[in-house]
Structure 1
């Protein structure tokens, strides 16, 4: 059971406990069942989910090496959480983390609520809202250590939807595929305006996750009050 996940986790230096394995197995079963009526993911095969959802999420932990949060004592917001990836796999393994799963689609957050309860995950809040609006609420703005986003969008768009949530010194971690240099260069102005800087790009070397990398941004100054702009604008007109 979960051989690919367990093997990959060992390569990352992670020891999955029997209880965590039980949670991952149940998460898979609930995901596949709910996906029959809610469009959560196109990836449903047992092996594929282990590699392209669970392990892909856990690779984000490599970006926390040599940071104060390496052992999981942090606040994290998963922007556009969808099926709960990467937020739920990270929470399963780093149980001390305090996590917010954010999505604008009520059917998806209904699944997230169900999954969190079924898996017995504490210190997890599920929020149904647009990132562009939630980031202007004082309870969420510039309060998180980490923000993650797996959305298939331009990096400038993702920066506008994530950096406003991070406190100074916090990190944004964005999984990407393929060559990232040009996209990172195009997003440089947006990242700077939003109070961030490019910290590093970590290449991921895993079978099944070829050409994957993690773009890590650091929050260095407060985000100007006007950002993020109104819903839809970061996607429609990225800062350039």
Structure 2
């Protein structure tokens, strides 16, 4: 094993996650494709191998320490961008049926290349705004789990994501720093959308002082047909 490989393996070990040689190869190939494409397209400001491993790969799969991924069949990643956290979770948990949702088609074309190069199956991309996806019959209230690392307030994210989750499923928002005030501001919206805050997990990324939180929201009731509202409204006028 090279130094190039061992850093990622050691990070995952700190999460008690054991990567197979095949999974290490997939992550490394993903990194190579990301950096190459980033030369002609703005996918990430982070390109150093160690930083990508920590801030993208390890951050994405850290969820496995706080949520039983073996109980999940269908997962949608809203605002997936360069594929985080959806693709790292798919690499780690091959049984998942994953949908990568993004409003920018050229990002999804890159992700389709990644899917082909990594030989991933049961994973697809959907080109749509979240507000429109939440009204599609084949997506609405379809997923066991919705995840998002998108940068938006929790009220807005909940309107994007909860309509996609089936009753009994969960929406998990990846957050940085302090989240208490944001959670308190979002409680009304979450309840209106059929959700309930289940718990919040706070932690630091391994080998760093980067603080992260998972806000885990359970879908307890169907989402009213009033939501999501038309594109742009959830961001401009959070519930």
Please tell me the TM-score bracket, short chain as reference.
over 0.9
Q: Which residue of 1 aligns with 2:124?
A: 125
Structure 1 residue 157, shift from structure 2 partner = 0.6
Distance 2:58 2:209 in 1: 9
User: Are 1:11 and 2:14 matched, yes or no?
Assistant: yes
Distance 2:19 2:66 in 1: 19
Distance 1:209 1:221, change over 3 A: farther
Distance 1:201 1:177 in 2: 12
Alignment of 1:12-51 (within 5 A): 12-51=15-54
Structure 1 residue 63, shift from structure 2 partner = 2.8
CA contact (8 A) 2:72 2:145 kept: no
Q: 3-state SS of the aligned residue for 2:52?
A: helix
Distance 2:234 2:65 in 1: 28
Distance 2:30 2:123 in 1: 15
- Give the root-mean-square deviation of aligned CA atoms: 1.1
Q: Which residue of 1 aligns with 2:210?
A: 210
Runs of 4+ in 1 over 3 A off after TM superposition: none
CA contact (8 A) 1:52 1:208 kept: no
User: Aligned pairs, how many?
Assistant: 235
Q: Which residue of 2 aligns with 1:62?
A: 65
Structure 1 residue 39, shift from structure 2 partner = 1.1
**So what's the TM-score if we normalise by structure 1?**
0.95
Structure 1 residue 72, shift from structure 2 partner = 6.1
Structure 1 residue 187, shift from structure 2 partner = 0.2
Distance 1:51 1:171 in 2: 25
Q: Which residue of 1 aligns with 2:226?
A: 226
CA contact (8 A) 1:72 1:94 kept: no
Structure 1 residue 203, shift from structure 2 partner = 1.1
Structure 2 unaligned runs (5+)? none
Q: Deviation per CA, 1:145-169, whole angstroms, max 9, x where unpaired?
A: 0001111110001101100000011
Structure 1 residue 209, shift from structure 2 partner = 5.5
Q: Which residue of 1 aligns with 2:96?
A: 97
CA contact (8 A) 1:196 1:217 kept: yes
**So what's the TM-score if we normalise by structure 2?**
0.95
